[in-house]
Structure 1
């Protein structure tokens, strides 16, 4: 009864209903077998991979996709490596033509050192791909104004980074993330920079609809255990947000009501009790 009552509601993106709010990247795992075990442990239904690393001519024999064959998954190919909107659109259309679906993660980096997204080209690509009938999920910086513009351009969800890709620094600007979640009229998926289950729970408590992780799972000492931890953290964060946390206060507040507290005994009244406990040596 309790499990059913506290169930996290499904997430809807682009008309698709998802039971899991955790998206999983497929790169950097020590082996395909570990990747599949982590995928199973995570419960993720959306998996992402770089189109440039996929053999589009023989997708059935691709080194990544062949291991996902037969599973009920939504592919989220990403345009990692693209440096312009035009290039990102071309990559997305190649992926769709190869049978990988019409979901796409727009990823256009402006700086090879930080891999931070190019806001102008990302906005352009989002508008172009939405017009072409794609379900577009753009990876973007944690800028509330830009996220609003991306949603207006047709993004099915926005994916602000918590911190730069692969850093594990967690959510560096929780204030901005909260603003993005409050103002967004599309789901917010925190993508990049998370390092642990605590970061995942924080993202959801701040208002995010879900998270996307790759490096913190793939490079963990135990990727399968971390995948499961991330799934539980997302669920815990969603339940915690729905439950409503107490407000933060500067000073302590007693957990019990001060009314009805026993008055301290006087020295005279305390004497009989003390005498009764006195031990006499012999």
Structure 2
């Protein structure tokens, strides 16, 4: 999954998303609705017959705000031709410095949105107990952060993310903090099902090339996870057999 924010131009966004191979694209409902700078014409700039829209509740500080914005997002998706799109990326973020999600507000909003027929993808701290609770109330994924949004710090919560992956019965989406393709591959090697990457592509010197690199790294990491890595040993093991050598 890719985001649509922070790009220097609409054209750069279009080309970067295409290069990444992403099939699901997030759109910040509040920013599109208010035509915030950089978001004018954004909803119309992408071909929604080829991409699946993931409206998100970015900018919402309470559960009540997020619920209202999710409803707007569903209507926006319908207006753009995705009649059966009930997806919402749920963000409830009252913290303006580190942009860390509110676990209580997220859970409250998720419970209500699930009742209203939404497919809820909740953005959360890497908390295995919260992830399990959100799964139990009917969320279709859990989305633990690798590190704070837009920080580019990489995967700082690997131990907890691994627990979430081990315990979850729904897809796990690592969201936020990935800065390089190697970090994208690492997240997939942990066993994540999906990545959501925005800033690392949009803020790169060459976003189109970075989009392609992120797509390739994501596929490589997933293939590596499915292949199963070799055992880690505390001693060396020669690659070539020692039998039949010339003496």
Instruction: Give the TM-score, by structure 1 length.
Output: 0.80
Equivalent of residue 214 in structure 2, options 192, 205, 230? 230
Q: Does 1:51 align with 2:24?
A: no
Alignment match, 2:50: 72
CA RMSD of aligned residues (A): 1.7
Q: 1:69 to 1:242 in 2, by over 3 A?
A: closer
Q: Does 1:33 align with 2:25?
A: no
Alignment match, 2:171: 187
Radius of gyration: which is bigger? Answer: 1
Cα separation, 1, equivalents of 2:209 and 2:149: 21
Q: Which runs of 4+ in 1 moved over 2 A?
A: 97-101, 256-263
Cα separation, 1, equivalents of 2:67 and 2:201: 29
Equivalent of residue 151 in structure 1, options 135, 139, 142? 135
Alignment match, 1:175: 159
Please report how far the alpha carbon of residue 55 of structure 1 lies from its aligned counterpart in structure 2 after TM superposition: 2.5
List runs of 5+ in structure 2 lacking aligned partners: 79-84
Alignment match, 1:88: 66
Equivalent of residue 218 in structure 1, options 177, 180, 202? 202
Q: 1:78 to 1:181 in 2, by over 3 A?
A: same
List runs of 5+ in structure 1 lacking aligned partners: 1-22, 264-282
Could you give the per-residue CA deviations for residues 24-77 of structure 1, whole angstroms, max 9, x where no partner exists? 1001111000100011111111110211111389xxx95211111454211111
Alignment match, 1:24: 2
Q: Does 1:108 align with 2:92?
A: yes
Cα separation, 1, equivalents of 2:12 and 2:49: 16
Alignment match, 1:206: 190
Is the 8 Å Cα contact of residues 169 and 193 (structure 1) preserved in structure 2? yes
Could you give the per-residue CA deviations for residues 186-242 of structure 1, whole angstroms, max 9, x where no partner exists? 001110000011111111110100100110000001000000011101110111111
Cα separation, 1, equivalents of 2:11 and 2:197: 18
Equivalent of residue 123 in structure 1, options 107, 113, 123? 107
